[in-house]
Structure 1
Amino acid sequence: MTSFPPAPTPPTVPAPASPATGPVIGAPLLRALVDAVAPVIVLAADPARVHLHNKAAEALFPALGTTDAFTSDVVAPWLVQAQQQGIDALDGTVGERVFRATSQPLPGECTGWLLTDVTEERASLKRLSEERVRTQFLVRASARLLASLNQRRCLRVTAELAAEQLADAAVLLTPTRGRRIAMTRLVRGGVIEETAVSVEVDQVPGLADALAGFPPVPSRWIQPDLAPAWLVPEDFGDLGSLVVTPLPGNGVSAGALILLRRSDQAGFNEEEELFARIFAARAGAAISAAVLYAERTETTGILQRALIPPAIDRLDGIDLASTYRPARAADLIGGDFYDVHPPLLATEARKGVPGETLLMLGDVCGKGPGAAILTGKIRHTIAALRRLEPRHGPLLELLNATLLDDHDARFVTLVLAGVTPAANGRLDLRLTSAGHPAPMLVRADGTVEEAATRGTLIGAVPDITSTTWTTVLDPGEMCLLYSDGVTEARGGPSGREMFGDQRLKDALAECAGMPVEAVVERIELVTSQWLGGGEHDDIALMAIGAPLRGSHLMMVDGRGRGRYTG
């Protein structure tokens, strides 16, 4: 039997190395991770028992350290109710903090609850919402306050807005020209009270300072029970808190705003006091603007009454009519003017011009209030100078020297008319132009005649010249004084063509025999039609007529003052 050597042993092949593994996460590390996050509570299956919680959860709910019960006396009732009703997420309060709880299913039929503190987030959202409401209120308040320049209306609107948004009642105190104080008071849902009171402002802490424009004192420094009876409305109830804040004006305080809250309402906090000051600043600005507007309107009215051309009535033996249309209707005043000076019998008799009525119509360079002020100077200067010199030429020379002495850059054109009743209803007429359009005369037969008078404008050069032209108006005839706002009115088909002298003459030719009132109205009408609503210069017209003997003009139904001669 043949034997064979033993078979060689195969080489040992090392087994492949197992892949490297990291350290295993142990319970202590996992516990540390869980404790480092927000409150976590893990519940076991039904019935719910606390299977696991971290330190944050135990700090929030201390009873978790002694029991695994998941009941309302251990954790927040709203969290227990959410688990029972299968709610996945909700917000709730624990003490003074707000938490957002979210649930997550876990293996082993467990449920985990994560509680996140959202107190600051909720507070920020609340502040943002409140700020939006306040901003919207301020926008609405500003619109209402700026909608009027009437002081009384601004005060009423301020009281309404304050009582609606800031307090249960609002009281506004504003100084008056006397020693009394105007009070506007409103209880929310009530009727505004407006009265003037004589009170001691020192009875309310901080009120005197507020009326003087000083910063307000904090509400917490004011004791509500010391508020005087005149401040708190009847049937208001117990006063809980009040804020006194100034109404800042245009350099001077417009008054004070007092906000009142009942005792069953929360007191004013710092944010509300600051907001009240912001509102009061806007209200004070509106009230101050209304006061300033009223004062300026009063001043303007006084000046306008002194500068507006006077109303002209019929004089003995002379028919007069006039009209004035400023370039800017809102101004009521401008650069055109006219005036009537009755006879100065004693003075004029010595000068050889007895019983003459002086009429004038002029046009100052420019328009608006600046020109109107100069017209006032001219009218009053002529009223004084004519007592010294009734002759037209020397009178114009004195006026020219006076205007040059004032160093005013403006000049004036002027026409003077001296009218003296004569025999048989005639009028003796002296006409003198100083750079002004010559007057037009309408004769009884319809002929239109231009007065032969020329002269130098006033207030431009030291030496002036003028010519005085005399004529007679027979009964029924008239003379028209006018400003260049008529002849230089641009309009017509092209909108740029001037009305001109010839169109004025043609219009006057149609007015022969008409009363002076009708002539003035007719010329104003045709001029307006020519303008077609376009811009224009100041327009002034004055008609002087010799009355028809035996004519009798009355108003409709025979009532009112008319014109009667002979």
Structure 2
Amino acid sequence: MSSDKEVVGCARRVPRLVIRTSGTPKTPRDGDVHVGSIWNDAPCPVLVVDADGDVIGSNEGARRLFAHAEEVGEGLTAGGLPHWLARAHHRPHPAAAPQEAVSGTVAGRTFAAHPSRIENGDVVWWLVEDTDLRRAEQELRHERERAALLADVSGALLSSLNLERCAEVTARMAADHLADAAVVVAPAQGRRHALTYAQGGGGITRTVASIDPRTVPGLAEALQGFPPVPARWIDPDDIPDWSVPPGFAGPIGSVIVTPLPGHGVPAGVLILLRASTHRAFTDGEEVFARLFAARAGAALSAARLYAEQASITTTLLRELLPPRLERVHGVEYAGVYRTSQDHERVGGDFYDVHPGADASRETFVVLGDVAGKGLEAAVLTGKIRSVLHALLPLSGDHQQVLVLLNDALMNSHHTRFATLVLASVRRSAGQVLLRLTSAGHLPPLIVRADGRVEEAATGGTLVGALPDVRTRSVDVVLAPGETCLLYTDGITEARGGPLGDDFYGEERLREALRECARMPAEAVVERVQMLAAQWLGGGRHDDMATLAITNPAGGVDGFAVADDREGREPCRREP
């Protein structure tokens, strides 16, 4: 008795295949095709394998394929099957269940083998080639891995604007993912270059050395931003010792030298090294190394730019920040400055103390408030402070100093004005003698030793707004334990309180100062600033500056000074 089985082909265009296994041939039905012609017309190699794993039939495509496999020396089983296909053929499986497809290589090409079981136990294997598909999938995986690596590189590098840290991250990630070792060569500083070494899975080494870039092919050009030379042009035997990380194991087999492009100027050069025991860099790896270098160069350039700007900012701030105040010629000075924005360090308020050459010379003190806030106001304060510093030889004449400063501001491109209060300070016979002049500024407050608070009767016009400056000066005497407080309107106009919309005001300031009698200068300014900050709460505010001039209550240099209130002179005005 005969039995028939339809075998599904490897493509839609394969007709229905009928394999007769025993008995008398059955009358063909419409669509049945002779076995031999089916195999020869199949678009893929076809094998018929019996239960013992022997090939008992094949088409022309399979014969050519396996003949080539034998030519290239690929091992086959005694039955003529590749080993991966023989293992799949002998794998136990339920008779009623379809056998699963398997994959493997034949003659350097990959195939998916689809089985069709025949009733007598033989199996027809249809070998569908998927070499290009697998190659495309592999390339896609590689590209995804490279894209993920570049994303990781960007994230790691941009997480820090520290130049040394960026160089270390660049060298480490390059050594871990691109090569066996990496060297980052920074642009020259004079005749020296900063070098950052890394090995895969190892530590980071940094050094600064005098090197000759011409000793590495393409390095001198890369440092100037020229395109890299191909790796095949570089002889590893010509690489100098300084370009190899300390302790690098094994001779060098392949080298890549690629620039680290920056913003307008090169950010350095990346050297990748691979040991001779590993394969050489491929063209694809060279291209990817350039992509890596582009990301790293952008981050290094940003870090370098930030470092330069930070250095410039530090230099400028050194001149713009208020000075540190202390005791000068037996007189205490203390100041506190708070900008309108907590994240800023400079603004429109300022103060300076210029000590006299000796105790017999007057110390020149200035506190001012420039219209506006932020950096623009700070620039003008810097100019005013520079002009006043140049006018120190004339500091004994407040009117002349203010006139000359006003002329300088009127001839400037700045359109802002400023208010100031000047003080000339001298100690004599246990007392502190002050000459105070206000130019449109709030008058200073005098805190007497008994807690009384007086307002210095000085006034005048602001500077930088009108052609003429008119002022009125006043002399003040401070007995031991008394303080003269200079302050800006950021204190009195601090808006807050229970309802959040009230000014701190002069009355509250005077009340606070009554409790500051006989306090050190630093304690006075700290208390005023603390009370103003508490009044503000979390509200917005203007720049706030306070400066205290105090005659110490305990005397000078450890000697007590008598508190002679009866002999104290009152404030008197200059005509």
1:535 lines up with 2:540 in the alignment: yes
Match among 317, 340, 346 for residue 304 of structure 1: 317
Match among 109, 130, 135 for residue 123 of structure 1: 135
1:525 lines up with 2:530 in the alignment: yes
The answer to whether the Cα contact below 8 Å between 1:426 and 1:475 also exists between their aligned partners in 2 is yes
1:283 lines up with 2:288 in the alignment: no
Aligned position for 1:379: 385
1:168-201 Cα shifts (integer Å, max 9, x gaps): 1111111242202211112223222211222221
Aligned position for 1:216: 228
Larger Rg: 1
Aligned position for 1:19: none
The answer to whether the Cα contact below 8 Å between 1:425 and 1:548 also exists between their aligned partners in 2 is no
How many angstroms does 1:91 deviate by?
0.7
SS of equivalent to 1:121: helix
1:438 lines up with 2:451 in the alignment: no
Q: Which moved more, 1:450-459 or 1:236-245?
A: 450-459
SS of equivalent to 1:309: coil
Match among 170, 183, 187 for residue 158 of structure 1: 170
Aligned position for 2:474: 469
Matches within 5 A, 1:39-58: 39-43=45-49, 45-47=50-52, 50-58=55-63
1:377-417 Cα shifts (integer Å, max 9, x gaps): 11121222343473222321221111010120221111111
Aligned position for 1:193: 205
The answer to whether the Cα contact below 8 Å between 2:409 and 2:464 also exists between their aligned partners in 1 is yes
SS of equivalent to 2:242: coil
Aligned position for 2:518: 513
Match among 418, 429, 432 for residue 427 of structure 1: 432
Aligned position for 1:338: 351
1:235 to 1:270, Cα distance in 2 relative to 1, 3 A: closer
Matches within 5 A, 1:114-513: 114-233=126-245, 234-343=247-356, 355-388=361-394, 390-422=396-428, 424-513=429-518
How many angstroms does 1:564 deviate by?
7.6
How many angstroms does 1:255 deviate by?
0.9
The answer to whether the Cα contact below 8 Å between 1:434 and 1:466 also exists between their aligned partners in 2 is yes
Q: In the aligned structure 1, how far is the partner of 2:51 from the partner of 2:330?
A: 120
1:106 to 1:464, Cα distance in 2 relative to 1, 3 A: same
Q: Which moved more, 1:502-511 or 1:153-162?
A: 153-162
1:481 to 1:550, Cα distance in 2 relative to 1, 3 A: closer
1:320 to 1:49, Cα distance in 2 relative to 1, 3 A: closer
Q: In the aligned structure 2, how far is the partner of 1:358 from the partner of 1:494?
A: 41
How many angstroms does 1:419 deviate by?
2.5
Any gaps of 5 or more consecutive residues in structure 1?
A: 1-21, 346-353, 554-562
The one-letter code of the counterpart of 2:523 is: A
Q: Which moved more, 1:444-453 or 1:530-539?
A: 530-539
How many angstroms does 1:25 deviate by?
5.7
Q: In the aligned structure 1, how far is the partner of 2:330 from the partner of 2:248?
A: 72
The answer to whether the Cα contact below 8 Å between 2:39 and 2:59 also exists between their aligned partners in 1 is no
1:528 to 1:27, Cα distance in 2 relative to 1, 3 A: closer
The one-letter code of the counterpart of 1:297 is: A
**Cα root mean square deviation, aligned:** 2.8
SS of equivalent to 1:428: strand
Identity %: 49
Q: In the aligned structure 2, how far is the partner of 1:49 from the partner of 1:525?
A: 96
Aligned pairs, number: 522
1:290 to 1:339, Cα distance in 2 relative to 1, 3 A: same
The answer to whether the Cα contact below 8 Å between 2:439 and 2:463 also exists between their aligned partners in 1 is yes
The one-letter code of the counterpart of 1:363 is: D
Match among 82, 90, 93 for residue 105 of structure 2: 93
1:113 to 1:429, Cα distance in 2 relative to 1, 3 A: same
SS of equivalent to 2:468: coil
The answer to whether the Cα contact below 8 Å between 1:317 and 1:565 also exists between their aligned partners in 2 is no
1:543 to 1:281, Cα distance in 2 relative to 1, 3 A: same
How many angstroms does 1:243 deviate by?
0.9
Q: Which moved more, 1:465-474 or 1:244-253?
A: 465-474
The one-letter code of the counterpart of 2:490 is: G
Match among 63, 77, 83 for residue 89 of structure 2: 83
SS of equivalent to 1:137: helix
1:232 to 1:470, Cα distance in 2 relative to 1, 3 A: closer
How many angstroms does 1:509 deviate by?
0.8
Q: In the aligned structure 2, how far is the partner of 1:413 from the partner of 1:550?
A: 33
Q: In the aligned structure 1, how far is the partner of 2:39 from the partner of 2:248?
A: 63
The answer to whether the Cα contact below 8 Å between 1:72 and 1:80 also exists between their aligned partners in 2 is no
Any gaps of 5 or more consecutive residues in structure 2?
A: 1-27, 71-75, 93-98, 563-575
How many angstroms does 1:90 deviate by?
0.9
The answer to whether the Cα contact below 8 Å between 1:425 and 1:549 also exists between their aligned partners in 2 is no
Q: In the aligned structure 1, how far is the partner of 2:124 from the partner of 2:185?
A: 62
SS of equivalent to 1:285: helix
SS of equivalent to 1:85: coil
Q: Which moved more, 1:493-502 or 1:242-251?
A: 493-502
1:161 to 1:379, Cα distance in 2 relative to 1, 3 A: same
The answer to whether the Cα contact below 8 Å between 2:55 and 2:80 also exists between their aligned partners in 1 is no
The answer to whether the Cα contact below 8 Å between 1:317 and 1:425 also exists between their aligned partners in 2 is no
SS of equivalent to 2:203: coil
Q: Which moved more, 1:48-57 or 1:315-324?
A: 48-57
How many angstroms does 1:235 deviate by?
4.5
1:193 to 1:410, Cα distance in 2 relative to 1, 3 A: same
Q: In the aligned structure 1, how far is the partner of 2:477 from the partner of 2:85?
A: 112
1:106 to 1:311, Cα distance in 2 relative to 1, 3 A: same
The answer to whether the Cα contact below 8 Å between 1:210 and 1:216 also exists between their aligned partners in 2 is yes
SS of equivalent to 2:206: strand
Q: In the aligned structure 2, how far is the partner of 1:298 from the partner of 1:242?
A: 36
Matches within 5 A, 1:97-108: 97-106=109-118
1:107-135 Cα shifts (integer Å, max 9, x gaps): 55542111011111111211122222222
1:471 to 1:182, Cα distance in 2 relative to 1, 3 A: closer
Q: In the aligned structure 1, how far is the partner of 2:527 from the partner of 2:51?
A: 105
Q: Which moved more, 1:371-380 or 1:505-514?
A: 371-380
SS of equivalent to 1:462: coil
